[in-house]
Chains A and B, each alone.
Chain A
């Protein structure tokens, strides 16, 4: 059997897995810290993709450089979303938070999707850089530059977030708040402000994920739910509250999908994630890297 196509597939699985990972990390952060389940996360990725696309189209700025614009823009949007919508949810008990945030963010998905159609039509867009299609070929295995760079950027962002949460005062306050918000407030931590910051970091990560999606995949108003679904599967796979775990689980899903082509056929590729989702919930409900 010729192994080359298998390895090539796995390499692409690794690349897409990095995107699943960064998509999931943002979702996991907001859920872990304030128990807000934001199913509009995929639509925020869509938004990030469009921002990146328009910056490229209008100003010719490279999408990887544009991250420095996309991320702060989405961070600001996250602050506005939290203050305008999710702040009210975080005053409730934990279970109501999940239920209400689910409803609100589902509505938000519909709004973002339709606004995007209205503003930018339903056409599929893609950022085609001058170096799109170029890449390295090692032993017959192709490594397109855009995908390699996306994986590196995703990894850098995730590790930077991990360092922020573990090394800085503000980051530790976010972890403390996610463990016990009431005890955190007794430490003098402004819990509501911590929530805003954590949520906005999550949307900024969605923005970065969107920029990375825009260089290798198609952007359209309707891609939101697909990405939310992938991110949710990864978060459940990884377990709550593990940033590096979510990234690893994203890569795992990417690899599993790539391999599944040989096991169950390309037609069932999308099913693999959902089967994993159910299996993990049955066998290890706390997730692969979750505590408890």
Chain B
């Protein structure tokens, strides 16, 4: 059984602390969403969990074992895969090359053909454009490629930072359908989203991050009903808008 836990972690960029003792737990098979205003630390928390920004205090545990000393590429081997904000594709490389890079980890490399079939069945458009340069794809296709590339790593837990950013509403809704499908196939999902309503409707549980701390948590449906969330995150944000960009 998979269990990823951040326990009271503090993360800083230089002298600037962005997370002040944030805690979160993700269990096998869940979709967990992280919502909160710009600058609350959602991206930082995801980066810490992925090994890009190690905490200076607190621990990150995977199945009870501390992993916060490990670097990003080692966590990929253990099944923790992050799709970073802005997708970060290899723009000068072809679609198929991006996908094969996703399977770089030793465990995933043996299963490239099977993984490719799976990704192509989820996103047929990627098969059609296999030889095209990733940088020339449309925004929606780029997000599909980002998800496909992450799936090539055979993740146990897939983390997505703002996958709806800059995409048309119809595309966002497609992406969320895919996430639901991937989750049904057994991949645990942790999602940071500006688009709070859609995310809460998708998720099982939710954490609200404010000023570098978790201010509340609970089943997504309950969070969706609380006054504070309705006022702060659902009132102004249209369910169709992507929301402003995080710095």
Q: Which residues, 157 to 206 on A, are CB-close (under 8 Å) to B?
A: 169, 172-173, 175-176, 179-180, 182-191
Min distance, Cβ B106 to any Cβ of chain A, angstroms = 8
Is there contact, CB below 8 Å, between B90 and A185? Answer: no
Q: What are 26 contact pairs spanning A and B, CB under 8 A?
A: A172-B100, A175-B92, A176-B90, A176-B101, A179-B91, A179-B92, A180-B88, A182-B52, A182-B72, A182-B84, A183-B84, A184-B101, A185-B51, A185-B52, A186-B52, A186-B76, A186-B82, A186-B88, A187-B73, A187-B105, A187-B153, A188-B76, A188-B104, A188-B153, A189-B104, A241-B92
Given the interface contacts A169-B109, A172-B97, A184-B101, does A291 sit within 8 Å of B77 by beta carbon? no
Chain B: number of interface residues, binned into ranges: 20 to 34
Distance of A198 from chain B, by nearest CB (Å): 15
Q: Is the CB of B101 within 8 A of A187?
A: yes
Q: Would B90 and A175 count as touching, CB distance under 8 A?
A: yes
> Across the two chains, which residue of chain A brings its CB closest to B86?
A183
Whether B50 is near chain A, meaning CB under 8 Å from some CB there, is yes
Known: A179-B91, A186-B50, A187-B149. A172 touches B101 (CB 8 A): yes
Q: Complex formed: what's the CA distance from A183 to B92 in Å?
A: 13
Residues of A within 8 A of B100 (CB): 169, 172
Let me know if B88 and A182 touch, CB within 8 A.
Answer: yes
Residues of A within 8 A of B (CB): 169, 172-173, 175-176, 179-180, 182-191, 241, 291
The list of the 10 closest CB pairs from A to B, nearest first, reads A188-B105, A188-B76, A183-B88, A185-B72, A188-B104, A179-B90, A187-B104, A187-B101, A176-B101, A188-B73
Interface-centre pick from A180, A185, A186 (highest chain B CB count, 10 A): A186
* B window 19-43: CB within 8 A of A: none
- Whether B102 and A187, one on each chain, are in contact in the complex, defined by CB atoms closer than 8 angstroms, is yes
The answer to whether A188 and B77 have CB atoms under 8 Å apart is yes
Other than the known A173-B101, A176-B93, A185-B73, what 8 A-B pairs have Cβ atoms closer than 8 Å? A176-B101, A184-B90, A186-B72, A186-B84, A187-B101, A187-B102, A187-B153, A188-B108
At the interface, is chain A mostly helix, strand, loop or mixed? Answer: helix
B71: interface (CB < 8 Å): yes
Q: How far is the CB of B34 from chain A (nearest CB, A)?
A: 18
CA A30 to CA B52, docked complex, whole Å: 23
In the complex, what distance in Å separates the CA atom of A182 from the CA atom of B52? 8
CA distance A179 to B97 in the complex (A): 13
Q: Choose one: A175, A182, A188, A191; the contact of B93 (CB below 8 Å).
A: A175
* B97 nearest CB neighbor, chain A only: A172
Interface flags for B223-246 (1: CB within 8 Å of A; 0: not) read 000000000000000000000000
List residues of chain A with CB within 8 A of the CB of B145: none
CB distance from A110 to the nearest CB of B (A): 33
Q: How far is the CA of A173 from the CA of B104 in the complex (A)?
A: 8
- CB contacts (< 8 Å) of A175 on chain B: these are 90, 92-93
Residues of chain A lying within 8 A (CB to CB) of residue B189: none
Question: Are A179 and B93 neighbours in the complex by a CB distance under 8 Å?
Answer: yes
Report the minimum CB–CB distance from A144 to chain B (whole Å): 39
A189 interface neighbour in B82, B83, B92, B101, Cβ under 8 Å:
B101
B81 interface hit (Cβ, 8 Å): yes
- Report A-chain residues with C-beta under 8 Å of the C-beta of B88: 180, 182-183, 186
> Is B89 interfacial (CB 8 A cutoff)?
yes
- Bound: A180/B91 CA distance, A: 9
CB pair B81–A186 under 8 Å, yes or no, is yes
- Please indicate the chain A residues that have their CB under 8 angstroms from the CB of B101 in the complex: 172-173, 176, 184, 187, 189
| Best-surrounded residue of A172, A175, A180, A187 (most CB of chain B within 10 A) | A187
